[in-house]
A and B are shown apart, each in its own frame.
Chain A
Amino acid sequence: MVSSRERIKAFDKKLLKSGEYSVILSRLPAYIFELLLIVIATSGDKLSEMDVFIVMYAWGLTFYIAPYLNIWENRKNVSIYEVLKSLPVNQWDIFKVRVEYIAKLLLSRFLIMLGLQIPGFMMTGKILKENMINSLAAIGWAALVLTIYALPGISNYRSNKQIKWKAKQGGIMWKKM
């Protein structure tokens, strides 16, 4: 018997595949922030001196996780939680699967950052240990921001708020979601 979490993962895979082009576009800010972080990590600078950038990096990663939470349809941002609400799937299972994606994403980014800092450290002679702790702090921040962002209530609220805002701006007829 297929578990609920496996069903959610299969659904995510299909969903992302069905909107491949728009997923890449919506993740563009995340890729830009990651590129910037790679440049900084390679330069061997202390990440602790870049608090604002770390928070921005965490925010940038929300674009990476966004295609799992919302879908852009008919000029409306529709929450995936809303689409799945009357289906036989537990919303906390959906959240847990999202957290699993976040954990995997951040672990891989931590390893990449660490790998990039070694040549930077060798070139500049700065302390590797300190940069490792700073990298972990960055990952911790990102994990916190992304986990809060992926919560069902927050995601739904954000989605509905955007619909109402767009209705005001463009005169789009707002319909109860």
Chain B
Amino acid sequence: MLEFRNVTKKQGSFCLNNISFQLEEGYLLGILGKNGAGKSTLLNCMLERKKKYQGEIFYQGKNIREEHQWFLGQCAYIADDNQFFRMKTGAENVDLLGGFYEEMDMDKFVQYMRDMDLSWRKNVGAMSRGEFIRFQLAFGRAHNAKIYLLDEATAGMDPVFRRDFYNILREILAQEAMVIMTTHIQSDINRNMDYICRLEQGKISFYGENFGGEEDGEFQGKD
């Protein structure tokens, strides 16, 4: 279980204020909000090394402030600006970076890439945005990540990509992992999220289960 306990983070004039929630394995949490609401800041609280936030974040009962390296080993961060060796192939990246993970498995990686119709021989820099996002998913799955942090992964993607993408996420969730993703796409939220966390000016304005709703309307949530 992941637990945010009164997490506050100041970043210039912006302040992520008193964030508290819990998420169990097997669920997909969607973080919603306008630009500048604090969605990416919330994800970065878990990833940043300097841990310049107040409050505590616990994963599996361990405070990630104290066990940060172990925590990063459980995470798969998936975003457009994530750094990989772009002049090397997907497999070369796994070979180079996989050594930092306890459970990295090249065979699994190749299999996941094949399942998604991607070539593991292709340079990461030559991948399209959708391919790069899926490559990162395969990378995370190959080291058996338990927490997937996705920052606007589906933004600008067509409905076919998004359908396949959510099918992969469902497979991941079935393996006792959890997914936290930021998104703007209302139909994705209604159809795919198990829980919703809506942020407004750094504060949680709603957190609860998602019961779906109108395609273009507001999501139907229940506290």
Contacts and interface: CB of A to CB of B under 8 A. Distances in A.
Interface of A: 4, 7, 10-11, 14-15, 18, 71, 73-74, 78, 82-91, 175-177
B222 interface: no
Top 9 nearest A-B pairs (CB, nearest first) are: A88-B73, A88-B72, A83-B83, A73-B87, A86-B77, A87-B100, A88-B69, A89-B100, A82-B83
B92 A18 contact: yes
Interface in B22-55: 47, 49
Interface string B125-145: 100000000000000000000
A4 B96 contact: no
B95 interface: yes
Contacts of B87: 73-74
B100 to A, nearest CB: 5
B66 to A, nearest CB: 13
B219 interface: no
Interface string B62-95: 0000000111110101000111111110001001
Nearest to B74: A88
Interface of B: 47, 49, 69-73, 75, 77, 81-88, 92, 95-97, 99-101, 125
Contacts of A88: 69-73, 100-101
6 contacts: A11-B96, A18-B96, A78-B86, A83-B83, A83-B85, A85-B83
Contact of B99 (A11, A78, A82, A177): A11
Contacts of B92: 18
Nearest to A175: B81
Given A73-B86, A85-B83, A7 B100 contact: yes
B85 A91 contact: no
A90 B125 contact: no
A86 B82 contact: yes
Given A71-B85, A88-B72, A89-B100, 10 more contacts: A4-B69, A14-B96, A73-B125, A74-B87, A78-B83, A83-B97, A85-B49, A87-B100, A88-B69, A88-B70
Contacts of A91: 49
Contacts of B95: 14
B67 to A, nearest CB: 10
A13 B49 CA distance: 25
Contacts of A11: 96-97, 99-100
Nearest to A9: B99
Given A11-B96, A91-B49, A86 B81 contact: no
A107 B81 CA distance: 40
B97 to A, nearest CB: 6
Nearest to A78: B83
Contacts of A85: 49, 83
Nearest to A176: B81
Contacts of B100: 7, 11, 84, 87-89
